[in-house]
Chain A
């Protein structure tokens, strides 16, 4: 079984974000790593490797980034890392990214594609299902359990007001939700391997992918900071009374 994981390198949650040029640009601190949900997808792929002898490849598409994410994936146990590195991908539309990834995974074929349910930078969750649609394969988003037997995947997912259990014949694309697996922390051997690994590279022209032009950016803005907090003093009952008064009379939300 061939498993391919789609991964994205993202800024750390703590990375500072600054709007520049009076709203024309955005500066993000360069502290980067493998997307939280993609780590879960990598773990799921490695579980299949251990249980079924699956081969595990990872592919990422970005402009000038992705090496950090790939090293982490390799340190965890991914065998074949491929980076689609192309300047056109800077600020690209998700559909361009999806086309690039779809073309790349088609090169060597696959039985199962795994991805995180969304990236923690834009939380869009678009690229995974787009790749499935482009490849014409079935897709389930946000899976919390995964079993594969005889070319059939059985998965669960949370839905509004409950959960469902689904069955899908491979090939398919599944996106990983928190709780599917706890990602492993790479050991020394993995980390050493990741430092020395040669990451294969390609670009859009080689893959024969044309870009879907991105929507123009009208501007960036920071979040309007909340006014300073109003602290309410007193014993629980007095504080509660005052809080309810303020929520009614000042904030007008009750």
Chain B
């Protein structure tokens, strides 16, 4: 691969009619980093600043939304080919691999998602780059002007490790939702849009059918508020109470492993080590005991509320606010109060 430049690429991922919040967060992080490197100086005749610019990669059907990135990146590369829609990893890896290899960026930032889990490792292997998942922070390293420092939790969040990324290394890193503030760096950049028609082979994996889950406004992993139910919810007849509070808070509902393993809730909505990892601003654990398995899926939440009948339940050790009581009774009261202040 050619020498590494200073540009930072962000793979932008859309959901229906807009990009995922993570896309805007990552673009802001990239703008912050390139500004720190003196990217405001634009070389004559060049699209991107000498010190490194921000390139937004959009591919397949997501490319139709490229206009939404106006001002948020120096450059938008819109990659299209019939093989890229619907999403299948093979043609995406081939198309993105060619664009990244050609542009030789410093880093490619991804939001954590199922799609990223298919793409990032294969791109890292294909390009000989350095892949990292689950990251929560990225900044310029202290004392080493060229290096970046990237942090991520390990051992279920029991510790964090920070890695140095030397200047001559291609980093491919996936970040958890809410890792950055989408408004932390100003937009207003002059954005150049480049269209790339990718020549890629058809996927070796064939899509037979795609079933859409029910309509969900907010995805569990990227919701700002998560309301999670555990065994203390007693049974599915009470799950509506979780939905009601989540709706009032514009959040998503999750379930503990106990409910999933009992066949009462879908694994797609399980929070915990063997389910989803969430990192919301507010996490409300209703009738969840707080087994280590569960805590590992939510302990990077900013504020945690626990509701449990047992005052000695371990979940209270991981909570900021605790209510000792029956979640089935507390939830409706809480929903009512939340609705009252939301008005």
Residue ranges of A at the interface with B (Cβ–Cβ < 8 Å): 11, 13-15, 17, 19, 26, 28, 36-37, 93-95, 98, 117-118, 120-130, 132-134, 138-142, 144, 154, 157-169, 172, 177-179, 212, 215-223, 226-227, 229-233, 236-237, 239-241, 243-244, 246-248, 251, 253-254
Which of B137-173 touch A at CB < 8 Å? 141, 149, 152-166, 169
Residue ranges of B at the interface with A (Cβ–Cβ < 8 Å): 15, 89-90, 93, 113-115, 117-118, 120-122, 124-126, 128, 130-134, 141, 149, 152-166, 169, 203-213, 216, 219, 249, 267-268, 270, 273-275, 277, 281-282, 292-293, 296, 299, 302-306, 311, 316-326, 329-330, 332-334, 336-338, 341
- Smallest CB separation, B95 vs chain A (Å): 15
Contact assessment for A130 and B322 in the assembled complex, using a CB-CB cutoff below 8 Å = no
Contact assessment for A160 and B219 in the assembled complex, using a CB-CB cutoff below 8 Å = yes
- Smallest CB separation, B285 vs chain A (Å): 12
Contact assessment for A236 and B121 in the assembled complex, using a CB-CB cutoff below 8 Å = no
Contact assessment for A133 and B93 in the assembled complex, using a CB-CB cutoff below 8 Å = yes
A159 and B336 in contact (CB under 8 A), knowing A123-B133, A215-B169?
no
22 contacts between A and B (CB under 8 A): A13-B273, A13-B292, A94-B121, A121-B154, A122-B152, A123-B277, A130-B122, A161-B212, A164-B210, A172-B205, A177-B267, A215-B169, A221-B160, A221-B162, A231-B324, A232-B323, A240-B333, A240-B336, A243-B321, A243-B334, A244-B334, A247-B321
- Closest B residue to A244 by CB, please name it: B337
**What's the Cα separation between A76 and B156 when bound, in Å?**
26
Q: Which 9 A-B pairs have the closest CB atoms?
A: A240-B333, A129-B121, A133-B125, A17-B158, A138-B204, A218-B162, A124-B133, A133-B122, A130-B125
- Smallest CB separation, A211 vs chain B (Å): 12
* Chain B residues with CB below 8 A from A128, complex form: 121
- Closest B residue to A154 by CB, please name it: B208
**What's the Cα separation between A217 and B249 when bound, in Å?**
39
**What's the Cα separation between A159 and B205 when bound, in Å?**
15
Contact assessment for B161 and A217 in the assembled complex, using a CB-CB cutoff below 8 Å = yes
Contact assessment for B118 and A129 in the assembled complex, using a CB-CB cutoff below 8 Å = yes
- Closest B residue to A254 by CB, please name it: B341
Most buried by A among B121, B155, B212, B302: B121
* Chain B residues with CB below 8 A from A172, complex form: 204-205
- Smallest CB separation, B88 vs chain A (Å): 8
**What's the Cα separation between A113 and B126 when bound, in Å?**
19
Contact assessment for A140 and B205 in the assembled complex, using a CB-CB cutoff below 8 Å = yes
Task: Choose one: A139, A231, A236; the contact of B329 (CB below 8 Å).
Answer: A236
Task: Choose one: A154, A179, A215; the contact of B164 (CB below 8 Å).
Answer: A215
Most buried by B among A37, A129, A216, A232: A129
* Chain A residues with CB below 8 A from B15, complex form: 160-161
**What's the Cα separation between A127 and B282 when bound, in Å?**
33
* Chain A residues with CB below 8 A from B130, complex form: 93, 95, 212, 215
A36 and B316 in contact (CB under 8 A), knowing A159-B114, A161-B219, A178-B267?
no
Most buried by B among A123, A128, A139, A230: A123
**What's the Cα separation between A223 and B136 when bound, in Å?**
13
Contact assessment for A239 and B325 in the assembled complex, using a CB-CB cutoff below 8 Å = yes
